[in-house]
Amino acid sequence: MKKFIPVIAGSIALASLSGVVKAENMADNDSGIYVGANYGYLKVESEDDFDDNKDVVQGIVGYRFNSFLALEGSYIDFGKYGGSAANASTTGYTAALKGTLPITQTTELFVKAGQLWHETDYNVASIKGSSDDRSLFAGAGINFNVTENLLLNAQYTWYDVDLNADNVSSDSEFKTDLNQASVGAEYRF
């Protein structure tokens, strides 16, 4: 066991050093536009009949100011969720700040937070309507460089969505969390 301690310590030191070297090299000139797409799993959690599991599709465009900070926008389709008594379909646009931490030459972690502007078409007990609103969201993930410009990612994002169904009753506000786990690709120009 004593022989493995220097090997483990050396490996950790090399991995840390390679992350620092990558961060210094990336900070020089790593700005520009990127586009991407995500496909994943949506878990809808609410206090009413809107609970469901569905697919989610997202298109992304962003601008990296440097290796660590980006501004990102997207269009997202959460699909249709719910049951026969109450169902809804939500689409929206997002704007977010994205922070990235390069770990190695091929791996980086990221977090993002921002706002979702969404439109929901709903059907509650045969009463149809729509709701426009805005909500906060936060997410985290990991990027893997396939080439210098192409990255694959895995991420988890939480959206705090409130559905306001005014024509159902005077206080029909449904607290709903949309949880997205997805994989995707990003291309940096």
Written as six digits, the tokens of 2 are 């004593």
The architecture of the domain spanning 4-188 is: Beta Barrel (2.40)
Task: Report how far apart, in Å, the C-alpha atoms of 152 and of each of 107, 117, 188 are.
Answer: 10, 26, 11
Secondary structure element (H or E) that encloses residue 31, with its range: none
Of the given ranges (42-46, 114-118, 122-126, 169-173), which has the lowest mean pLDDT? 169-173
**Where would I find the H helices in the chain?**
4-28
Residue 122 pLDDT grade (very low, low, confident, very high; cuts 50, 70, 90): confident
The pLDDT of residue 21: 44
Does residue 148 or residue 20 have the better pLDDT?
A: 148
Bridge-based pairing of strands 173-188 and 69-82 is unpaired
Torsion sign over Cα 123, 89, 155, 95: negative
Q: What is the pLDDT of residue 44?
A: 80
pTM to 2 decimal places: 0.75
Residue 13 has pLDDT above 70, yes or no: no
Q: Which segment of 77-81, 90-94, 175-179 scores lowest on mean pLDDT?
A: 175-179
Indicate the range of 9-18, 85-94, 180-189 predicted with least confidence: 9-18
Query: How far is Cα 16 from Cα 103, in angstroms, rounded to an integer?
Result: 8
Ordered by start, the domain boundaries in the chain are 4-188
H/E element, 128: strand 127-145
